[in-house]
Amino acid sequence: MKTVILGASGQLGNCIRKVSSDKSIEGIVFPPEQTSNILDEAALDLLLSTEKPAYVVNCAAYTAVDKAEDEQEICRKVNRDGAANIARACQKHGATLIHISTDFVFKGDVARPLTETDPAEPENIYGLTKLEGEEEVAALLPAHFIIRTSWLYSEFGNNFVKTMLRLGRERDELGVIVDQVGSPTYAIDLAAAILHIITSGSMAYGIYHYSNEGVTSWYDFARAIFDISETQVRVKPLKTSEYVTKAVRPAFSVMDKTKIKNTLGLDVPYWRDSLITCLEQLSVTAQQ
């Protein structure tokens, strides 16, 4: 199944590259950004007409959550219009789209795992534009998988785990939010889930939730990072009201994974087990 990865240079794109290499999955194409700009419909048309993929995976997104409040136009262009461009190209060329979305489509005011049919009520521009992207994909292309994920981290790119490790080396004490709860997601696990969908050939299209199993706060996530990596730093719990950001974050964004496990036959690892794996990989890289 030939597959084109859009946003190939980002965190998830790099994880798909690693997992596909480790599993010897062939036919995965990682085009450079200059030939895969999701805002350039002609470039997308040329790319898909040349590669003729069965699948397209959209990892490209505007993800600077706070900055998006000031850059609403470009955020919407990437997250809504870019998604629509990809969906139209996939429809024209007969490709199935796997589109990555976010837990930030939810308001986060319900303290139970959120299902795919729960109402989406984003409270920031990033979440709103990602929801608009979902709606464009669903309206334009029947053959789609929309995967909402959360708290993504890995050995690649900039993310919470790597930031905590850096700050833990630089400081004696850190304050981390304790009253926002969710599920961390190791991007390597998400990459494996995406490749599972592709290799399975499933046509069970629709919206799915994928994060690692378990529930934690940002504070406890940070504590786990420091405990596992044996980083000596004091961690102080902060309430959201004590750490004001431009964009409002959901207080509770734990997603129910029943649908993706039952429909697509996926096993979902526990977040702390995956964190251990990531930290081991980062340690090996640091020693090389």
Label residue 147 left, alpha or beta by phi (over 0 means left) and psi (-120 to 50 means alpha): beta
* Residue among 143, 187, 270, 144 at smallest CA distance from 17: 187
Could you tell me if 279 and 228 are in contact, meaning their C-beta atoms sit under 8 angstroms apart?
yes
Helix (H, G, I), strand (E, B) or coil at 186: strand
Which value, in Å, is the radius of gyration of the alpha carbons in the chain?
19
Label residue 214 left, alpha or beta by phi (over 0 means left) and psi (-120 to 50 means alpha): left
Residue of 126, 153, 186, 210 marked active site: 126
Please state, in angstroms and rounded to a whole number, the distance separating the CA atoms of residues 126 and 63. 7
272 contacts: CB under 8 Å, gap ≥ 6:
214, 224
What H or E segment, with its residue span, contains residue 233?
none
Q: Which residues pair with 101 in a beta bridge?
A: 148
DSSP 8-state class, residue 77: I
Record the tokens describing residue 99, joined without a space: 């589109």
153 contacts: CB under 8 Å, gap ≥ 6:
159, 160, 161, 162, 184, 185, 186, 187, 278
DSSP string, 84-131: HHHHHHHHHHT-EEEEEEEGGGS----SSPBPTTSPP---SHHHHHHH
Known active-site residue 205 = no
Please state, in angstroms and rounded to a whole number, the distance separating the CA atoms of residues 282 and 164. 13
Q: Which residues pair with 6 in a beta bridge?
A: 58
Cite the active site residues: 126
